[in-house]
Amino acid sequence: MKKRLSIMILCLVALLAFVGCGSNTATKDTAATKTTKTDVLKVSVAAQNNSGQVFQYMAKAHNFLAEEGVDVNMVYINNGTDAFTALAGGKVDVISTYGTGGPLIQIANGQDFTVFGGYMIIGETPVFGKPETQWTSLESFRGKKIGITRGGTPDIVLKGILNDAGLFKDVTFIEYKKNQEVLQAVASGEVDFGATATGYELQAADLGLKVKMWPDEYWPNHSCCRMLATGKWMKDEKNQEALYRLLRAYLRAEEAMQGNMDEVADLVVKNLDLDKATVDSFVKSPHMKYDTDPYKNSVVKMWDKMGKFGYIKDNNITLGDHINTTIYKKALDSLIKDYPNSQFFKDKLVQFNQNNA
């Protein structure tokens, strides 16, 4: 009897040990388990369909959005003015690929827009000219005509550079509605140079034009596309949580992009009606820098420069009230905690502290 009881006890101990081992394996604490949400929050994000939203595509492809519990509805709006109207009217929750200068003009005019993250800190916004048009330095712009689309990143960054160089009043700017019109004007000789947005390098080459100047070489981290929402929408705690989850997913996507731009380009081709050559020309460009960081300091710098050349008038707007770095910092801190071995997220924190003082 005692022997039988001893055997039963040994069996019970063995069974408990087995269950214990099995339990440790099944509930092993991983970052993916931590971040997966049972509830799902919806966010609509507007972007241009000639550049898209690479963080979105990567986050979706790698299942980061699902793990973070956020469902993103992409809304493609090519015209910046229409995008600002959609954001102000609540038709979309977030805009992401409409520069910095345009949104700052909207803020200066009283719109309730708030920067909370980034998309591109520099964009591929070259200045084109005919092959025979001489350009050796900024002085080469003196006395020349330059085609631009008013309010876009190429326009504002180039004017900021020329203003700092003391050349702003020595250049004649000719405004066009579309980037294609700028290129045609350069090709026809209507203007000497033309500054365009991202993605027009192959079209310029087809017209026989050459890149004469890269603005990012004169104004590093000039702040291209920021991510914005309305201040009113962001006051809602549920919406703050949605942005927190979105930024976690996009930061994870940014990490996955490192050294993996072939996949990024393929995803852009897959999601947009663009050919691979065009996509490769800007996605893989050394003059394109995708970055989720809000870059508050760069936004403030652009605001100040725009005031100097007249795009922003004196007003009672406090720009700091329209930049929120808290949600991004919360997302980044949580990722560092969940992924303690990720050097990428640690480096992002150093970058954040340098660029958002």
User: 102-114 pLDDT, tens per residue?
Assistant: 999 999 999 999 9
Structure tokens at 111: 């719109």
Residue from 179, 175, 187 nearest 130 by CA: 187
pLDDT in tens, 271-282: 998 999 999 999
Helices (H), the chain: 2-26, 31-35, 54-61, 64-68, 80-88, 101-108, 153-164, 179-188, 201-206, 231-234, 237-257, 261-271, 276-283, 296-308, 326-338, 343-355
**pLDDT (average), residues 196-201:** 91
**Residue percentage of the chain with pLDDT more than 70:** 90
Mean pLDDT of the chain: 90
- Tell me how far apart the alpha carbons of residues 120 and 287 are, in angstroms, rounded to a whole number: 10
pTM: 0.87
Per-residue model confidence (pLDDT) at position 6: 44
Residue from 241, 274, 245, 207 nearest 59 by CA: 245
Q: Is the pLDDT of residue 292 over 80?
A: yes
Q: Is the pLDDT of residue 75 over 70?
A: yes
- Tell me how far apart the alpha carbons of residues 193 and 210 are, in angstroms, rounded to a whole number: 10
Q: Which residues pair with 71 in a beta bridge?
A: 42
pLDDT in tens, 229-286: 999 999 999 999 999 999 999 999 999 999 999 999 999 999 998 999 999 999 999 9
pLDDT in tens, 130-189: 999 999 999 999 999 999 999 989 999 999 999 999 999 999 999 999 999 999 999 999
Per-residue model confidence (pLDDT) at position 36: 60
Residue recorded with tokens 């820098």: 289
Of the pLDDT bands very low, low, confident and very high (cuts 50, 70, 90), residue 37 is low
Domains in the chain with CATH codes: 34-122+224-355 (3.40.190.10), 127-217 (3.40.190.10)
